[in-house]
Chains A and B, each alone.
Chain A
Amino acid sequence: MSPARTRLLAGAVLSTGTLLLAGCSGSGGTSSASHDSINYALPANFTPNWILPIGTAAHLNTNNISIANSLWEPLIAYDGSTGKIAWNKAGSVATDAKFAADNKSVTITLGDRHWSDGKPITSADVKFWFDLIKANKAEWAGYNPGKAPDNWISFKSVDDRHFTITFDKAYNPQWMLANELSSINPLPQHAWDQGGDAKKTWTYLNNAAKNISGYASNSLWKTISGPYAVTSFSTAGKVVLTANKKYDGGEKPGIPTVNLLPFTTADAEKNALRSGTVDYGYIEATDLDQKDRFTAQGYEVKPWSGWAITYMPYNFNNPAMGAVFKQLYARQAVQRSIDQAGLAKVIFGGTAVPGYGPVPQGQASAFVSPVQKDDPYPFSTSAARELLTGHGWSEQGGVMTCTEPAQCGAGIAKGTKFEMQVLSQSGSTVTDNMMSAIQSSLAKTGIKFSIKTAPVNSVLSQTPQCTAGQSICTWQLSFFGTAGSWYFSAFPTGDSLFQSKGGSNFGNYSNPAVDTLISRSTTSSSNQAIQDYSAALAKDLPVIWLPEPVYQISVIRNGLGGFSQDSLANFHPAQWKWTG
């Protein structure tokens, strides 16, 4: 056979092969899931590596916390697992929280609960956590100077099942409950305390937690209050949980054995899903047209929306474009060039929700203002162009250039081109497609948008808060929101994001009026304050608002039910049940 024909044959085989697969629907995987166990797919490239409910920021991410909370039940489980963001009392140790009339203290009542070794859960266990965090706050993941535990002045045990925490000033009770009190896990003081020395105990516990191979065997981890215990925990990330028979709380585990499976890539997970070895997994937005195949295999596709917002921060201190970014009309022109509805529909296949402001819009809530909801800056590249031409910019060679500096604004030299570059997260085709589409629509306005990608950790390292003189301040826009840029606690305050000098205010956005609104939202007792903040930022555009993608597009085997997907991105194994 001549070489040319061999090549043609090879090509034909390849095309036929792929065509065959296109038409092929998966041969029905029988729903032979054993009703005693469930296989849950962990997010791609994530390995659980921490069992302790306390620890440094490096260890306390949502998946580790989900596992830890299954072993040591939270005091106040404030999450979205009931279908809306509220206090899930069935999954909490506390049964009631009464705020004083002046909102400067709260008295909490514990339920009649016991540890797995029979001892009752008392205020002493809560005080144990309180003292540990107070003494080691610098190393605690949840610490923000001025917030918990700084603003908790004192802890007083009223009796075994009642205690009072006093604050430094009056706070919005819902905020205090949802964002601060919800981080408390009662810990077994009788088993873990090292002679009352909080610093010594913290070091002791953290050192023990550094040994993953000991998670299944170390007796420290056997004194639990939650619905599950760890039977095995491999360093490769596979975790097996078994139901805690001594659990006496409100969320009894529905499935005796829970297997948490790690996957190196989303593709590997999808292959496993297709072969039927995963009961609760996920696919990506680019796979949505295969929905029917999964339905035929006995799965249901259920997008898991997250309590988050997605955006691209402007670097207001960037030497080249900072002055342009500081002009509101310029930001308005950029925002009006983004077709969020088109992106959500085409790029995300309908699994993203357009967002116009700082409060998540994926779920209805009392926090979002009508101004934000109604989109103050609808998509219109012609309106965007008018904004620029009306402020002294004119198009030269396809790019808007400042020809009348007096109109452009302070600090913008004549001849400045409206060009900006984003450092975007790599590894996601959906994100790449979204950036290409944004680049294209910005080009229609005359704004040149170039894209550079890097792994998300690199993006975060290279786009920090900076001042104009620093070499690291060359970044102009960044994007780390493939799965949502920022997940909020239940009460979505913007203090770390949008307050002047906020810890995660990477672009150095600063607006004194907004600062006042932010502090008012945590102290005032009505929701009007946070709605005002929502309206203000929807109009002031501290960042480029983008559609909020779902946390994951879950694919769940038929028959698995009894739960809602928690928009705070935690999973709650105790709620999963095989029905029918």
Chain B
Amino acid sequence: MTAVLQTATALQPVAGYRLSLRRFARNRLAVAGLVVVVLFLLFCFAGPLIHPTDQTHTDLNQVNLAPSGAHLLGTDAVGHDEFGRLMFGGKVSLLVGLAAGLLATVIGALWGAVAGYTGGWVDALMMRIVDAGIAIPALFILLVVSAITTPDTLGLILILGLVSWLVPSRLVRAETLTLKSRDYVLTLRAIGGTHGRAIGRHILPNSVSTIVVAATFQVADAILLVAYVSYLGLGVQPPATDWGGMLSSGLTAAYSGRWWLIVPPGLAIILVVCAFNAIGDGLRDAFDVRGRG
């Protein structure tokens, strides 16, 4: 009886995925979110190939033009075409958001899994390091780092990933604690399996749903964080920009009525972050993930 139950629980993840996919597809918000993300990815990466604009050189004769046939969304304060700039900035926002979010989740998941599985003083030490990381304001670290080095795209990904991995680590640790007391893990250890095998073949695969959901929310948060960082002036340097940087320099024109500098990047951020949140929510419902994700 126990063996059957064990095999059943071991098989569960596989059958579960198909069921989860169906549940996800039924969630209209989540599907809409997925569509939005795909559209934006196409817009930002394939768009410049269809509608190329010069985003490196300024043109002081074409500043602050309202939207027209020549410039679908007008031009900004130094003459860049705003529509093209939306694609250009979107590349950075999406790339940094996705990469930083994924990086944060990967580091966090590994850290949390190891800490939760090992237990004891190692767990305590690792979690206190996480607490110290949470206690130091990320803003402070961002300020210091940006005062020392130039944050190019890669640097920005690394920095944002390194300040964001703390929350996923706690989630995965909680999940690991639950899983490691499950029967099949105890059995594995009893018959001589190594820790690595236990983590690699049972803990992590069974936490996948938690990790995937966390990853989606991390990406959403990372995109918002990039926008926040650029607002404070700590983001990428000109001529590169991202939606947050566009929004923050556009906001100085708020009272001048140049809505085309504000609404497009603002809407883009809201739509994409909303979309990722919807996807994450849908995934969580689909996988029936418990816990405070």
The residues of A with any CB-CB pair to B shorter than 8 Å are 2-4, 7, 10-11, 14-15, 18-19, 21-23, 267, 270, 274, 284, 286-287, 289-290, 293, 339, 342-343, 345-347, 426-427, 429, 432-433, 435-437, 439-441, 443-444, 450-455, 458, 462
B249 partner, pick from A21, A432, A435, beta carbons under 8 A:
A432
What is the minimal beta-carbon distance from A348 to any residue of chain B, in angstroms? Answer: 11
Contact indicator B257/A429 (Cβ below 8 Å): no
Residues of chain B within 8 A (CB-CB) of A437 are 58, 60, 78
Q: Is B252's CB under 8 angstroms from A436's CB?
A: no
A18 touches B267 (CB 8 A): no
- Chain B residues lying within 8 Å of A433, measured Cβ to Cβ, are 77-78
Contact A432 B238 (CB under 8 A): yes
Rounded to whole Å, the gap between the CB of B244 and the closest CB of chain A is 14
| B13 contacts the other chain (CB 8 A) | no
With A19-B259, A22-B259, A439-B238 already in contact, the answer to whether A346 and B150 are too (CB < 8 A) is no
B273 to chain A, nearest CB (A): 12
Cβ contact within 8 Å between B77 and A440: no
Q: Are B150 and A15 in contact (CB under 8 A)?
A: no
Q: Determine the residue in chain A with the shortest Cβ distance to B63.
A: A346
Kindly state whether residue B57 has any CB partner on chain A within 8 Å.
yes
Q: Which residues of B contact A452 (CB under 8 A)?
A: 150, 237
Q: Once the chains bind, are A14 and B263 in contact (CB under 8 Å)?
A: yes
Which residues in B have their C-beta under 8 angstroms from that of A7? 271, 274
Q: Is A18 within 8 A of B263, CB to CB?
A: yes
B262 interface residue (CB < 8 Å to A): yes
- Contact A454/B58 with A11-B267, A22-B259, A436-B239 known, Cβ cut-off 8 Å: no
Tell me if A290 and B266 are in contact (CB < 8 A): no
Q: Is the CB of A14 within 8 A of B238?
A: no
> Does B29 count as interface, using CB distance less than 8 angstroms?
yes
CB-CB under 8 A from B255, the residues of chain A are 21, 270, 274, 287, 290, 293
A346 adjacent to B147 (CB under 8 Å): no
Contacts of B77 in A (CB 8 A): 286, 347, 429, 433
Which of A15, A339, A436, A453 touches B263 (beta carbons < 8 Å)? A15
CA A18 – CA B32 in complex, angstroms?
Answer: 27
In the complex, whether B10 has a CB less than 8 A from a CB of chain A is no
Complex CA distance for A426 and B147, rounded to whole angstroms? 11
In the assembled complex, the Cα of A96 lies from the Cα of B57 at a distance in Å of 57
Q: Is the CB of A443 within 8 A of B63?
A: no
* Inter-chain contact B29/A15, CB cutoff 8 Å: no
Specify which chain B residues have a CB less than 8 angstroms from the CB of A444 in the assembled complex.
Answer: 57
- Chain A residues within an 8 Å CB radius of B278: 3
Chain A hits for B53, CB < 8 A: none
Q: Is B128 an interface residue (CB 8 A)?
A: no
Which chain B residue lies CB-closest to A458? B147
Does B107 interact with chain A (Cβ within 8 Å)? Answer: no
From B151, which residue of chain A is reached at the shortest CB distance? A452
Q: Do B60 and A346 touch across chains, with their CB atoms under 8 A apart?
A: yes
Is A436 a contact partner of B256 (Cβ separation < 8 A)? Answer: no
Assuming A21-B257, A267-B252, A347-B78, what are 6 further A-B pairs, CB within 8 angstroms? A18-B254, A286-B77, A290-B256, A426-B233, A436-B58, A436-B238
Residues of chain B lying within 8 A (CB to CB) of residue A286: 77, 252-253, 256
B56 in the interface, Cβ–Cβ < 8 Å? Answer: yes
Residue in A342, A454, A462 whose beta carbon sits within 8 Å of that of B146 in the complex: A454
B182 in contact (CB, < 8 A): no
Shortest CB-to-CB span from A23 to chain B, Å, is 7
Contact B237 A450, beta carbon cutoff 8 Å: yes
Of the residues A4, A18, A23, A453, contact of B233 by C-beta under 8 Å: A453
Contact indicator B259/A18 (Cβ below 8 Å): yes
Partner of A2, one of B28, B147, B150, B267: B28
What CA separation (Å) do A7 and B275 show in the bound complex?
Answer: 11
| Minimum distance in angstroms from A276 CB to a CB of chain B | 15
- From A15, A427, A443, A455, contact of B147 by CB (8 A): A455
* Most central of B28, B150, B233, B255 by chain A CB within 10 Å: B255
Contacts of A462 in B (CB 8 A): 147
Interface residues on B, range: 35 or more
Contact A440 B253 (CB under 8 A): no
The docked-state distance in angstroms from the alpha carbon of A22 to that of B237 is 29
The reply to whether B78 and A436 form a contact with Cβ atoms under 8 Å apart is yes
Residues of A within 8 A of B146 (CB): 454
Given the complex, which residues of A lie within 8 Å of B59, measured CB to CB? 440
Q: Name 5 A/B residue pairs within 8 A (Cβ), A-sorted.
A: A22-B258, A346-B60, A439-B239, A440-B78, A452-B150
List the B side residues contacting A342 at CB < 8 Å: 60
What is the 8 Å Cβ interface bit string for chain B, positions 71-88, against chain A (1 contact, 0 not)?
Answer: 000000110000000000
> How far, in whole Å, are A370 and B255 apart by their CA atoms in the complex?
42
**In the assembled complex, which residues on chain B have CB atoms less than 8 Å from the CB atom of A21?**
254-255, 257
Q: How far is the CB of B156 from chain A (nearest CB, A)?
A: 13
Closest-CB distance, B118 to chain A (whole angstroms): 41
A346-B60, A432-B238 known; A427-B233 Cβ under 8 A: yes
Residues of A within 8 A of B267 (CB): 11, 14
Q: Contacts of B64 on A, CB cut-off 8 Å?
A: 289
Closest B residue, CB atoms, query A274: B255
A540→B97 CA distance, assembly (Å): 48
- Best-buried of A15, A293, A444, A455 by chain B (most CB within 10 Å): A15
Q: How far, in angstroms, from A293 to B256 measured CA to CA in the complex? A: 10
Which B residues, 122 to 136, have Cβ-Cβ distances below 8 Å to chain A? none
Q: Which B residues lie within 8 Å of A2 (CB)?
A: 28
Instruction: Report the minimum CB–CB distance from B210 to chain A (whole Å).
Output: 25
A15's partner among B58, B233, B259 (CB-CB below 8 A) is: B259
Let me know if A3 and B28 touch, CB within 8 A. Answer: yes
What is the CA–CA distance of A19 and B150 in the complex, to the nearest angstrom? 37
* Residues B217-242 near A (CB distance < 8 A): 233, 237-239
| Closest Cβ–Cβ distance, residue A480 to chain B (whole Å) | 14
A44 to chain B, nearest CB (A): 13
Q: Is the CB of A429 within 8 A of B147?
A: no
Q: Complex: how many Å from CA A432 to CA B246?
A: 12
Task: Tell me, in angstroms, the Cα distance from A21 to B60 when the chains sit together.
Answer: 26
A267 to B146, CA, bound (A): 24
Complex Cα distance A4/B271, Å?
A: 10
Q: How far is the CA of A455 from the CA of B60 in the complex (A)?
A: 26
| Contact status A284-B238, CB under 8 Å | no
Q: A287 to chain B: which residues have CB within 8 Å?
A: 252, 255-256
Of all chain B residues, the one with the shortest Cβ separation from A432 is B238
What A residues does B147 contact at CB under 8 A? 454-455, 458, 462
Contacts of A23 in B (CB 8 A): 257
Inter-chain CA distance A286–B266, complex, in Å, is 20
Residues of B within 8 A of A455 (CB): 147
Most chain B beta-carbon contacts within 10 A, residue among A439, A441, A455: A439
* A4 / chain B contacts, CB cutoff of 8 Å: 32
**B258 contacts which chain A residues (CB < 8 A)?**
22
Contacts of B271 in A (CB 8 A): 7
A75 CB to nearest chain B CB (Å): 42
Is the Cβ of B57 less than 8 Å from the Cβ of A440? Answer: yes
The residues of A that contact B256 with a CB separation of less than 8 Å are: 22, 286-287, 289-290
**For residues 70 through 115 of chain B, which have their beta carbon under 8 Å from a beta carbon of chain A?**
77-78
- Distance A18 CA – B257 CA, assembled complex (angstroms): 7
Whole-angstrom CA separation of A455 from B256 in the bound complex: 26
